[in-house]
Structure 1
């Protein structure tokens, strides 16, 4: 009899277990719901715990998906990244109101968990808005100007690299090849000459490995752990398990950081205060000269490492990718390529291009503007609120995430009729002169406008003109037309792999 009673008691306990688990889940969901900020902008309903993550993960091209959703929910809407709300801003007027007119409120950043763990919130790119960020950005801009930003001296470096790139392309004798690594080599070498004082040979194995690491970091999509961390921070401890305790992109990121640390140590050993060779030297000198408290706060080795990462990573991929998109559009639009050729021939002949000549090449300049419009290289820019505030009548919590949909501006048919058509003429007036369009914002706007905007503009123009001067670009015979959708990794909208034929011009 006693055995029977024990069995019955155990059965009752087991029967209560599902009820207990269900009650626990209900309480947890209620707790999370009650903790949600109130009066957020409207948006698509999400699942419990995971929010809109399944929808985002299944999107073929997220900026287009968000733009479509904005037609239903408005230019200010909320999507749920797990348990965290992200406020999406769509359209030129809305974005301008936030980033320019309300710059003090919406110019902060919140580094993704994996990057924050690696210290990537210490540089300029991912650092939160405030006195430290302002000080670092001011120092970076002043120092970069000293080393050529906007000056003729930088044009010389770009011209030298353009010549090296042309010679490398000529070695393929018009046969099909993939330009990706070659273009990254050229652009990153320009950055290297500014921040490290020297360039690398294209075949240097260490340099090739570095470019490969950069590609892994930039093209990596959020990992499973990244998505789980949006559900709850406790999942970040999963990074302690598995291969070396880190996901692939994180390991590659830390390897690039190690490269920057090595460069810093090499510069420290050879630093001469009377001969400042590059950005790294200038930072180390400021580290020595600054008062001790200021040096500890703003001029640490970690800070220098992350600023170098910002300049190297962001400065390499954006310009290299834009140039590749430009050549891809030339191949698919031979009539436009011919017009560019004719203009360059009539104005420059075989003379080396200068950035100052862009006003003499209006059609070429308009073509590059159209590439930047139709293929926003960074179509979604992450921001954060620097304090609790409101926008368009909705609450925006401090450090609340914002997604700035630049792609929605460039593809707005009210601003750019037939936005899916590649049409350089939209940037020309009736007399054929280049006309700036206020809604063309490939470098974003406001306080967080791209640090390397001037360098990128100069590089893009001079590299593109140099290549178009020397080559006609064609699709390999029999090759399928490459996809023009692009793939969005962590930040940059890159084309799918493609080969081209570069035929030398007379």
Structure 2
């Protein structure tokens, strides 16, 4: 009764309650508008409070939508994710200027709130730019190189996993099957041998569960809570609801983190400073050697856990997905598949491939380059400004997000004519030699270029060549042609589920 009286009092005071509510909304929206940073880049008009979230939510493939909008608003553009501005950078020259020439300003990170709550702002992949990140990246790169990154010593591990994968594929005897899980097993085992010191059997139920969790985390789209929090931080409390989709993603991340903690504890029990077996041992050794203050800052168990997550997640999904895209394009382009077969047969015969032989296989190398161009695995890279800055005459606020649209570069007809056509020849000169293209940037560029770039290149080449050497890949009889658009959850551009037939060539 008291509430009703108050409402009636307010209504009489203002003359009309709907008018009062409308005036209140106008005042609130005006206040929020005045709080926006000034002189931001132009962009599409958004809804009050929601900004451009409805447009993003209904986009079939966000990188393509943003690339189309950039034709109207320019290569530096703003979209509003609720109250948070996202600065979209498109086009090769603009992206190169930001990530290379202005690297100190554009090398930080803005990560999803659920990842922050799970402690994923540590490590290397998602950590903010600064002295701590530089220290961790330098240590990770040096240690990984010690264990074979970019060296021929790593080829033995790749060959071992490739042989196991070939045997698994042969067991299907040319019948249709989905390659996804076994491809992830093979690729993850390569990184596991470096990071954890051992591999897992393909049928290991615990490992299969981890791979499925990895898929769920990588392919998860922003939840309703993510979008509500962009409107106002008060909605952050909804993350405590464990039954929500967001709660499920959190538990998946925590399960992967628990797996990494278990690996650390196993290594600690058998640690021998005179026998450094893998990345974990190298980190534990550094914990002992480093001065106490440095160890507390840079070499904690939490930091090791998150670096392991970075290496396991990034080292599995990107290469496995790229290889699956490559096989999908071979099935849909049998003439190109035949050219790859002929080149491999003429150069290698039945000999095992080596990464050093890529110059002898220019058409095969060009085919892989075209796969990475036409379907960017990470088409939209999320960055953050290290500080408030300006770019192309516009203000770039530190609290905003920066979206680097690599897809806009790879599909630029000025750089790559007929970009929707799968055409390996665009990476060959008139003599048939492979030619690098500076605008092919699947691993991004600048300070935060992919940590595992050298490993990924070696894995992709050796896996693809080995599989093409042994098999012809076809669509199952009567199966519809798979979509080539890709399923983009916000991080990785994965193919929609498909089956293939692998017919042994020898």
> Matches of 1:291 and 1:325 in 2, distance apart?
47
The whole-number CA distance in structure 1 between the counterparts of 2:484 and 2:49 is: 35
- Structure 1 gaps, min length 5: none
Q: What's the counterpart of residue 47 of structure 1?
A: 47
Q: Distance in 1 between matches of 2:32 and 2:293?
A: 42
2:143 corresponds to? 143
Could you tell me how far 1:12 is from its partner in structure 2? 3.6
1:341–1:10 Cα change, 3 Å: closer
5+ unaligned residues in a row in structure 2: which ranges? none
Q: Which residue of 2 is the match for residue 416 of structure 1?
A: 416
1:352 Cα deviation (Å)? 0.5
- The equivalences for 1:15-414 within 5 A come to 17-243=17-243, 246-414=246-414
1: CA distance between counterparts of 2:504 and 2:327? 15
Distance 1:156 1:11, change over 3 A: closer
CA contact (8 A) 2:241 2:247 kept: no
2-structure distance, mates of 1:338, 1:114: 46
**Corresponding residue of 1:441:** 441
Q: 1:239·1:245 contact (CA, 8 Å) conserved in 2? A: no
> Cα–Cα, structure 1 residues 133 and 430, in superposed 2: closer, same or farther, change >3 Å?
same
Asked whether the equivalents of residues 223 and 247 of structure 1 are also in contact (C-alpha less than 8 Å), the reply is no
TM-score by length of 2: 0.97
Q: Is the 8 A contact 2:283 2:304 kept in 1?
A: yes
In structure 2, the CA distance between the partners of 1:297 and 1:333, relative to structure 1 (3 Å rule), is same
User: Deviation at 1:26?
Assistant: 2.3
Q: In 2 relative to 1, CA 27–477 (structure 1 residues): closer, same or farther, beyond 3 Å?
A: same
CA distance 1:32–1:158, shift in 2 (3 Å):
same
**In the alignment, is the contact (CA less than 8 A) between 1:218 and 1:492 conserved in 2?**
yes
How far residue 144 of structure 1 moved from its aligned partner, in angstroms, is: 0.2
> 8 Å contact 1:386–1:399 — kept in the other structure?
no
Q: How many residues end up aligned between the 2 structures?
A: 502
1:7 and 1:434, CA in 2 relative to 1: closer, same or farther beyond 3 A?
closer
Aligned partner of residue 187 in structure 1, secondary structure? helix
Instruction: List per-residue Cα deviations over 1:179-229 (Å, max 9, x = no partner).
Output: 000100000000100110000000000000000000000011111111111
- By how many angstroms is 1:385 displaced? 0.6
Task: Give TM-score scaled by structure 1 length.
Answer: 0.97
Change in Cα spacing, 1:197 to 1:27, as seen in structure 2 (3 Å) is: same
Q: Offset at 1:290?
A: 0.8
Q: Distance in 2 between matches of 1:267 and 1:431?
A: 52
- Alignment CA distance shift 1:146-1:9 (3 Å): closer
Distance 1:23 1:7 in 2: 16
Residue 479 of structure 1 corresponds to which residue in structure 2? 479
Tell me, in whole angstroms, the C-alpha distance in 2 between the residues paired with 1:323 and 1:397: 38
Q: Distance in 2 between the 1:505 and 1:237 partners? A: 58
Task: Mark the CA change 1:416 to 1:246 in structure 2 (over 3 Å): closer, same or farther.
Answer: closer
Larger mean Cα displacement after TM superposition, 247-256 or 313-322 = 247-256
Which structure 1 residue ranges, 4+ long, deviate > 4 Å from structure 2?
A: 5-11, 13-17
- Say if 1:6 and 1:317 are closer, same or farther in 2 by CA, change over 3 A: closer
Q: Assess, with a 3 A threshold, how the Cα gap between structure 1 residues 11 and 135 changes in structure 2: closer, same or farther.
A: closer
> Deviation digits for residues 90-124 of structure 1, max 9, x if unmatched?
00000001100101111111121110111111111
The whole-number CA distance in structure 2 between the counterparts of 1:502 and 1:15 is: 77
Q: Report the 3-state secondary structure (helix = DSSP H, G, I; strand = E; otherwise coil) of the residue aligned with 1:243.
A: coil
The 3 A distance-change label for structure 1 pair 175 and 102 is same
Residues 303 and 35 of structure 1: is their aligned pair in 2 closer, same or farther, counting only changes over 3 Å?
A: same
Over 3 Å counting, the alpha-carbon distance change for 1:10 and 1:456 in structure 2 is closer
Q: Could you say what secondary structure the match of 2:382 adopts?
A: strand
CA distance in 2, matches of 1:116, 1:242: 17
- The answer to whether the Cα contact below 8 Å between 1:70 and 1:76 also exists between their aligned partners in 2 is yes
For 1:430 and 1:41, the matched residues in 2 are separated by: 42
